[in-house]
């Protein structure tokens, strides 16, 4: 029986463990925290259930949907997506609805949008290197400024001209203004771009239910998950071509035939001995953005009707707000209060990351007052801060060349498979991480030649299907 060590009990690690434990493998998962589900975990808060910000699950990939169906069965709600963009004191429906856009923008602005769009159709840039060029080329400069610039700069903490065009290419690859507008006119008709789907399946007890159930299934197959077991490093043989096993933080060494790593790619590389300088220099250029989540319980049932709101306004630091009350009724367990989560993005070196919780909460409430989402006389009845490190791999221009050097080095280690969001430095959603986990299992069981690094470099490579088609079985 071959032994596989999996680092991390998030979507990537658990989907891989789930698949392998069905086959004849001995699987041991080591998880640094005492949580199941990584960034996609759900947890109880003030008698209700919440996630780490919004967690919409959507995939067009049959294997990923099979994983969801096998574990969740019918225990999900099809949620009608409602999300809006708050900008310049106005709410814009997202995906865009033409009537709403026309109502919210002045005639001059609409003319500027159409003019800029026309200019880019007639004189497109041949080679778009950064986010600003890529989006302006597709939507025109004015639309880019209103709907992309401020939000992207809050999220990434760098200028859009410093963000690699790859990010947009991964996320909104085939979406054009024409498609967005057609979609705005023909809402609910036909198949939509992935960015625009307006319904999604959500497990009744939170997105993390999927991973809690995967963990239960794994344990039934005699595989093990060890919590509070941080992996310090992956051990390689002298040739640096074979992974021998792992070393835990407490010094224990566990040997294995394969290692699947979902720990941050940067930490994985830095744990190796004798890594060539060129590879070390490349890994040192890769970095992550962190999130601070501010959970507030408000003694009110109807705060706003969206699942989440994007806050584009540059006058507040706040980037996004999730209203868990609007996901599915089972989350709030009959309580009449509303839990919201506000997202603030920062680097580890920013003062806000180490700021006292009390000060961050005060700022969050003040910002809700500024954008008029909370009456000035209303104060939250409960508050809590959760800091999520390393959650966004930053696609700074040129990152891909450095990542390629790291990938080339890692590909020489045949029995070590780095997968997952920070594990492979890819801006993965749950579905991408699950797909990587399932494919890693396939690679081991069938000795497949699948290139795991290619998952999520092309979002629309997956077979086209509607959300209802893939979920009803």
Which parts of this chain interact with ligand FAD (CB under 6 A)?
7-13, 30-33, 38-40, 52-57, 230-231, 262-263, 291, 343, 388, 391, 420-423, 428-431, 433
The least distance separating ligand FAD from the CB of residue 178, rounded to whole angstroms, comes to 26
The least distance separating ligand FAD from the CB of residue 466, rounded to whole angstroms, comes to 18
Q: Are 19 and 438 in contact (CB under 8 A)?
A: yes
Contact residues for 312 (Cβ-Cβ < 8 A; gap 6+)? 85, 86, 87, 146, 147, 150, 151
The least distance separating ligand FAD from the CB of residue 333, rounded to whole angstroms, comes to 22
Give the residue at shortest CB distance from ligand FAD. Answer: 10
Instruction: Tell me the C-alpha distance between 322 and 310, whole Å.
Output: 9
Nearer to ligand FAD, 30 or 68 (CB): 30
Please give the C-alpha separations between residue 225 and each of 69, 379, 419, in angstroms, as whole numbers: 23, 41, 18
Q: What is the DSSP string of 67-113?
A: HHHHHHTT-EEEEEP-EEEEETTEEEEES--HHHHHHHS-HHHHHHH
Q: Where are the beta strands (DSSP E) in 286-398?
A: 288-298, 308-311, 320-323, 338-346, 382-393
**What are residue 418's DSSP bridge partners?**
261
Nearer to ligand FAD, 101 or 342 (CB): 342
Nearer to ligand FAD, 10 or 140 (CB): 10
Nearer to ligand FAD, 82 or 128 (CB): 82
The least distance separating ligand FAD from the CB of residue 238, rounded to whole angstroms, comes to 23
Nearer to ligand FAD, 105 or 346 (CB): 346
Instruction: Tell me the C-alpha distance between 277 and 220, whole Å.
Output: 44
The least distance separating ligand FAD from the CB of residue 434, rounded to whole angstroms, comes to 8
Nearer to ligand FAD, 34 or 447 (CB): 34
Instruction: Tell me the C-alpha distance between 95 and 198, whole Å.
Output: 8
Nearer to ligand FAD, 201 or 405 (CB): 201
Which tokens hold the place of 185?
């006119």
Enclosing H/E stretch for 210: helix 209-220
Phi then psi for 88, rounded to 5 degrees?
Answer: 55, 40
Nearer to ligand FAD, 130 or 428 (CB): 428
Give the angle subtended at the CA of 59 by the CAs of 55 and 65, to the nearest 5°. 105
The least distance separating ligand FAD from the CB of residue 433, rounded to whole angstroms, comes to 4
Question: If DSSP codes are grouped into helix, strand and coil, which group holds residue 44?
Answer: strand
The least distance separating ligand FAD from the CB of residue 173, rounded to whole angstroms, comes to 17
The least distance separating ligand FAD from the CB of residue 318, rounded to whole angstroms, comes to 13
């Amino acid at each position: 029986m071959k032994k596989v060590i999996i680092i991390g009990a998030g979507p990537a690690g658990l989907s891989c463990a789930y698949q392998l434990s069905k086959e004849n493998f001995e699987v041991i998962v080591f998880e640094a925290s005492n949580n199941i589900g990584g960034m996609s975990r759900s947890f109880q808060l003030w008698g209700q259930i919440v996630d780490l910000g919004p967690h919409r699950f959507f995939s067009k990939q049959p294997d990923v949907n099979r994983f969801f169906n096998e574990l969740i069965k019918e225990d999900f709600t099809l949620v009608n997506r409602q999300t809006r963009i708050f900008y310049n004191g106005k709410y814009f429906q997202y995906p865009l609805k033409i009537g709403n856009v026309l109502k919210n923008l002045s005639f001059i602005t609409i003319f500027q949008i159409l003019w800029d769009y026309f200019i880019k159709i007639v004189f497109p840039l041949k080679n778009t290197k950064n986010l600003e060029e890529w989006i302006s080329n597709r939507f025109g400069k004015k639309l880019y400024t209103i709907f992309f610039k401020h939000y992207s700069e809050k999220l990434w903490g760098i200028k859009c001209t410093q963000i690699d065009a790859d990010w947009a290419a991964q996320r909104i690859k085939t979406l054009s203004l024409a498609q967005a507008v057609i979609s705005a006119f023909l809402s609910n008709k036909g198949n939509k771009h992935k960015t625009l789907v307006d319904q999604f399946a959500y497990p009744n007890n939170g997105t993390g239910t999927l991973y809690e159930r995967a963990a239960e299934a794994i344990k039934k197959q005699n595989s093990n998950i060890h919590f509070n077991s941080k992996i310090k490093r992956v051990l390689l043989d002298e040739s640096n071509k074979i992974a021998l096993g792992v070393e835990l933080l407490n010094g224990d060494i566990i040997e294995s035939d394969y290692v699947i790593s979902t720990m941050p790619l940067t930490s994985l590389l830095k744990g190796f001995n004798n890594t060539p300088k060129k590879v070390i220099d490349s890994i040192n250029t890769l970095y992550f953005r962190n999130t601070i989540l501010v959970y507030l319980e408000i003694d009110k049932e109807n705060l706003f009707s969206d699942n989440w709101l994007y806050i584009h306004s540059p006058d507040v630091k706040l980037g996004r707000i999730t209203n868990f009350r609007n996901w599915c009724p089972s989350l709030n367990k009959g309580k009449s209060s509303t839990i919201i989560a506000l997202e603030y993005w920062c680097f580890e070196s920013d003062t806000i990351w180490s700021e006292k919780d009390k000060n961050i909460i005060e700022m969050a409430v003040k910002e809700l007052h500024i954008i008029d989402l909370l009456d000035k006389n209303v104060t939250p009845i409960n508050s809590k801060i959760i800091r999520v490190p390393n959650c966004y791999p930053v696609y700074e221009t040129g990152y891909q060349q450095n990542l390629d050097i790291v990938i080339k080095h890692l590909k020489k280690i045949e029995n070590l498979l780095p997968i997952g969001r920070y594990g492979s430095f890819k801006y993965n959603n749950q579905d991408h991480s699950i797909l990587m986990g399932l494919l890693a299992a396939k690679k081991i069981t069938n000795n497949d030649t699948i290139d795991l690094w290619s998952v999520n470099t092309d979002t629309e490579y997956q077979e086209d299907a509607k959300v209802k088609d893939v979920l009803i079985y």
